[in-house]
Amino acid sequence: MLGLGLLVGTLLVGNAFCGWICPFGAIQDALSWVRRRLHLPTVTVPARLDALLRWGRFAVLGVVVFMSYTTARLWFAGYDRYVTLFGLHWLFGAESADFWIALVVLALVVAGSLVIDRFWCRYLCPLGAALSVASVFSLVRIRRSGPTCTDCTLCDKPCPVGIQPSKAAPLVAADCIGCMDCVATCPVRGALTVGARVPLPLPGRPKEPEPDRAEGRQTGHEGKRK
């Protein structure tokens, strides 16, 4: 039921779950904040390598689906870095070999997130992979207006998942997590907007005549004049 709600929500407003609800997303943002406060270096992954590594999420998703199918249980749950961190098993000692694997996964994710913004979300999260596919069809997306945008690229800098809203043509990439940092940063009014991809029939909004019908009326009117 939760999964269905998440899917419907993503189809409506995009992947806001990762930007606003996911606790591990918040932890990664906190780690980025710590890095900035301590003036630690940020690793910038070259664009080509970044594009390649992003497929890692789909590889993890494929493994999780395959293993869950063959073992008839949610296979990833044993290594989930969220459960490892908040389950507090690490406080009370190792219970199994799975625990140590889970601890290594958690350590890798924390170390990665300390040097790269949203490291887990960008390259490894299977849920993020699934939601980014659903986001392709989402009703609401951030849109860039080519004629209004000045190509200053200021909006690219705050993006935690390394998308380039300044290159959106016109919709931002489906990897967007809806944090709205780019919209807040853009200095040009109307260059980046959030809206539905199709006109919604909102109450009180005057209806514009469809072009072919308008033409039809015009033709009829001209006919009467003759």
CA atoms within 13 A on the CB side of 172: 32
- Both tokens of 116, joined, read 């790269």
Contacting ligand SF4 (CB under 6 A), which of 154, 171, 193, 196?
A: 154
Binding residue (CB under 6 A) for ligand SF4 from 29, 50, 80, 181: 181
Q: Does 178 bind ligand SF4 (CB under 6 A)?
A: yes
Distance of alpha carbon 111 from alpha carbon 62, whole angstroms: 24
Which amino acid makes up residue 192? L
Q: How far is the CB of 18 from ligand SF4 (least distance, A)?
A: 9
Q: What would the two tokens of residue 206 be?
A: 């005057």
56: its two tokens: 């890692």
Query: Does 140 contact ligand SF4 by CB under 6 A?
Result: no
CB of 196 to ligand SF4, least distance (A): 16
Please say which residue, 11 or 105, places its beta carbon nearer to ligand SF4.
Answer: 11
Tell me which of 144, 196, 200, 215 binds ligand SF4, using CB under 6 A.
Answer: 144
Termini Cα distance of the chain: 64
Binding of ligand SF4 at residue 179 (CB under 6 A)? yes
Q: Which two tokens stand for residue 53?
A: 């590594």
**Separation CA 165–CA 175 (nearest Å):** 11
Residues that bind ligand SF4 (CB under 6 A): 142, 144, 149-155, 158-161, 163, 165-166, 172, 176-182, 186, 188, 191-192
